[in-house]
């Protein structure tokens, strides 16, 4: 067998997991790749304590860049600084790159895929969305007979854990966030997760692949879960719904899509409503297939490493035949603001029935004042008929809005 040499950039949680999986499963990996694959170099500015892997360490990326025997580079550094520089230089040096870096793919994927095409190498990123869940490959291979018109799902394990515990334990957002941080499910700075930015990067990558044009995560509507309260969880339950943070993108017509991230009330009859804890679930809709859901561990050392190593095997099998993977640049009006889309809404307000009636007419009331412990004496919650976000804001002008979430299903 021919030996395929790999370099790993970054030896943190995912990078070390990749090295471990490649060592442990070397025989089956070689069988599946039809080639022996080994880690030759590991680049990290910190000293690697593991004696076996420390022998492979270099702190100088140019050692990897200038080594013609290294054919595949695994980037697990994260972010868009050094990771972008090293990825671009690796591709320009004629090396395939595999990554789990959703921020980099979301922001610079079009450019990096274009370089990969020019250099006849591969840029693969299965692990950038859904951790260990296979989703990129099904979209780009298994579902290509379909016209894909919608993709949505629970894309962040931290927020899903927090919302699950709020439902099951009747506890506040702040309490569960501290618990998630103690358990290692949430970072010390949880901003990217709880404010929806992580899910935004992932839904943009999925939209890029499903619809064929780039979607900038900085240009879509993003709402996190900080505003979800125990009262909201209870009122959703009364309606037969659960609250989940969803990333969602769907086709409006041949020239336009919409994409956004926001908490949703989703029906308990939906498969996604049972995706709890740190798990992820992603639904893809195609005109021939209908709906398909992909479920599994959306993060974690071993699940993410599993997806990364699968891409390494794929890259090794396509050393001489580049895989087609990519999307086009989009027009300025390609992504329609989610505020222009009609849907049903859940509203919790401190305004009275008279104001609600003037703004919305007859609505389905979910709660009345004093029904829920902790709720204000003048609090009402209700569900609207389908209405655009812009029209909703006009009607709510002057009212005291305490919560405002979309309803799906």
Catalytic residues: 202
Could you tell me if 12 and 29 are in contact, meaning their C-beta atoms sit under 8 angstroms apart? no
Please count the other Cβ atoms lying within 10 Å of the Cβ belonging to residue 302.
15
DSSP string, 232-262: HHHHHHHHTEEEEEEEEEEEEETTEEEEEEE
Residue 296 carries which DSSP code? E
Could you tell me if 253 and 233 are in contact, meaning their C-beta atoms sit under 8 angstroms apart? no
Please calculate the CA angle 351-221-397 and round it to the nearest 5 degrees.
25
277 Rama sector, left if φ>0, alpha if ψ -120 to 50, beta otherwise = left
Q: Which class for 108: exposed (0-12), middle (13-18), buried (19 or more C-beta within 10 A)? A: middle
Could you tell me if 260 and 139 are in contact, meaning their C-beta atoms sit under 8 angstroms apart? no
> 238 CB contacts (<8 Å, ≥6 apart)?
366, 367
Count of residues making up the chain: 409
Give the span between the Cα atoms of 399 and 390, in whole angstroms. Answer: 15
Could you tell me if 322 and 121 are in contact, meaning their C-beta atoms sit under 8 angstroms apart? yes
């Amino acid at each position: 067998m021919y030996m395929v040499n790999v370099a790993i950039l970054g030896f943190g949680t995912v990078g070390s997991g990749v090295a471990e999986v490649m060592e442990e499963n070397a025989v089956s990996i070689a069988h599946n790749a039809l080639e022996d694959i080994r880690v030759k170099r590991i680049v990290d500015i910190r000293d690697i304590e593991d004696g076996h892997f420390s022998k492979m360490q270099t702190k100088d990326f140019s050692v990897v860049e200038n080594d013609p025997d290294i054919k595949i580079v695994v980037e697990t550094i994260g972010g868009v600084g050094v990771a972008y520089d090293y990825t671009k230089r690796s591709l320009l040096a004629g090396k395939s790159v595999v990554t789990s870096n959703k921020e980099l793919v979301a922001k610079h994927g079009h450019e990096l895929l274009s370089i990969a095409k020019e250099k006849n190498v591969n840029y693969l990123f299965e692990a950038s969305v859904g951790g260990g869940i296979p989703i990129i490959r099904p979209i780009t291979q298994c579902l290509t007979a379909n016209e894909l018109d919608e993709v949505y799902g629970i894309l962040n394990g931290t927020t899903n854990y927090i919302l699950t515990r709020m439902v099951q334990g009747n506890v506040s957002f702040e309490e569960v966030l501290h618990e998630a941080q103690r358990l290692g499910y949430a970072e010390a700075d949880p901003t990217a997760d709880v404010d929806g930015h992580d899910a935004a990067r992932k839904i943009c990558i999925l939209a890029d692949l499903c619809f064929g044009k780039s979607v900038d995560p900085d240009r879509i509507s993003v709402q996190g879960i900080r505003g979800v309260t125990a009262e909201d969880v209870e009122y959703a339950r009364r309606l037969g719904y659960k609250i989940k943070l969803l990333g969602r993108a769907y086709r409006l017509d041949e020239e336009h899509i919409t994409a956004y991230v926001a908490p949703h009330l989703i029906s308990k009859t939906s498969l996604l409503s049972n995706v709890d804890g740190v798990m992820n679930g992603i639904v893809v809709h195609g005109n021939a297939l209908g709906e398909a859901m992909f479920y599994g561990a959306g993060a974690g050392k071993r699940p993410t490493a599993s997806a990364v190593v699968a891409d390494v095997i794929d890259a090794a099998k396509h050393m001489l035949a580049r895989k087609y993977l990519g999307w086009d640049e989009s027009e300025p009006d390609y992504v329609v603001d989610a505020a222009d889309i009609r849907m049903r809404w859940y509203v919790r307000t401190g305004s009275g029935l008279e104001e609600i009636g003037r703004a919305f007419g007859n609505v389905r009331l979910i709660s009345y004042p004093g029904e829920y412990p902790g709720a204000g004496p003048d609090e009402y919650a209700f569900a609207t008929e389908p209405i655009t976000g812009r029209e909703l804001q006009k009607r709510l002008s002057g009212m005291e809005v305490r919560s405002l979430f979309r309803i799906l299903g």
